[in-house]
Amino acid sequence: MLNIGDMSKRNAIKLMEMVKSIKGVVDEINGDIARISTERILVTPSKVKIIKRKE
């Protein structure tokens, strides 16, 4: 679980670059990634999938 609260307030562009980089690694390991709140991102390994639903 990543806390992105401070980064989102300081530098949104840098945050987007960081998330893009993390997504690349997650894709390489067949993991999963999801934003679970305005301040948190959940990253999982390949054997754990996140069930996503839109609200």
> In the numeric block, which tokens belong to residue 44?
């999982």
- Per-position pLDDT tens, the chain of length 55: 999 988 888 998 999 999 999 999 999 999 999 999 989 999 999 999 999 887 6
Burial 3-22 (b: 16+ CB within 10 A, else e): ebeebeeeeeeebeeebeee
Domain boundaries, given as residue ranges, for the chain: 2-44
Can you give the pLDDT at residue 49?
92
Can you give the pLDDT at residue 55?
66
CA–CA distance, 13 with 43 (Å, rounded to integer) = 20
DSSP track, the chain: -EE-HHHHHH-HHHHHHHHHHHHHHHHHTT-EEEE-SSSEEEEE-TT--------
